[in-house]
Structure 1
């Protein structure tokens, strides 16, 4: 009976240790991944951005003009060129973040702004992002990026 209690205690300790081992580390929530992704764009930090993106070669990006990129490498190249430009900034508003098991979707509204000749930022376009993340090796990584332009409202 004593051996059974010791074995049961060992199993409980092992189970609690295993639960702690599979618990995600602090800052690994879907929302924190979304925040890190957007912060990397704002900072023009390519390395930080790519840490939030799938490591697999296939990745879909739909640009505001409707062009479709199909690979992680195309996504990387797009951001190398874009981050080299210094006359823009983005203002993001996370609308909602929903998680469905190992997949999550963030809806983000953004104001893409460009600097005019006087050095002031002006809105270029408003758009919505649908960012789909998937858990890969314990981290949330972007696998699908859809940009949808919000048409300007007509002034009457």
Structure 2
């Protein structure tokens, strides 16, 4: 699978809220930086977070690809993201951020190594 297909496969798993499919696209040493600066590290922390997030039926997002680049065994995809959800009291809110996904090649596969969400 080439890099663009790997990114699309990864994002499709998120869109389906498919935890097993998502985890199959993730490197064991992955890091995730949330929009508020919280750092999650490793597959177990990401699995726990995504299990809860995928269980929430209220969120949606629109992604607009801004840039992709590969250099050797590293690929980066940057998206403008518009995220919509409900807070704990059921009030809607929206976040706009840049989603940066860094993948590394592992044999024939590309796996997510770093996911960063930067508010804009």
Q: Quick check: TM above 0.5?
A: yes
- Name the Cα RMSD after superposition: 1.5
- Alignment partner, residue 25 of structure 2: 52
Q: Which has the higher helix share?
A: 1
Alpha-carbon distance in 2 for matches of 1:85, 1:102 = 34
* Residue 34 (1) aligns with residue 4 (2): no
Paired position in structure 1 for 2:16 = 43
In the alignment, is the contact (CA less than 8 A) between 1:59 and 1:144 conserved in 2? yes
Gaps of 5+ in 1: 1-27, 117-121, 151-156
Q: Which residue among 99, 105, 119 is the counterpart of 1:129?
A: 99
Q: Is 1:87 aligned with 2:32?
A: no
More strand as a share of residues: 2
Equivalenced residues, count: 116
TM-score, length basis structure 1? 0.70
Q: Deviations over 1:103-152 (max 9, x none)?
A: 11110111111269xxxxx66111111110000121000001111011xx
Is 1:142 aligned to residue 115 of structure 2? no
Q: Which runs of 5+ in 2 are unaligned?
A: none
Of structures 1 and 2, the larger Rg is shown by: 1
1:56-107 CA-to-partner distances (Å, cap 9, x unmatched) read 2x22110011001121110111000000011111111111110001111110
Runs (4 or more) in structure 1 with deviation over 4 Å come to none
Matched residue SS, 2:23: helix
Once residues 142 and 123 of structure 1 are traced to their aligned partners in structure 2, the CA distance between those partners, rounded to angstroms, is: 28
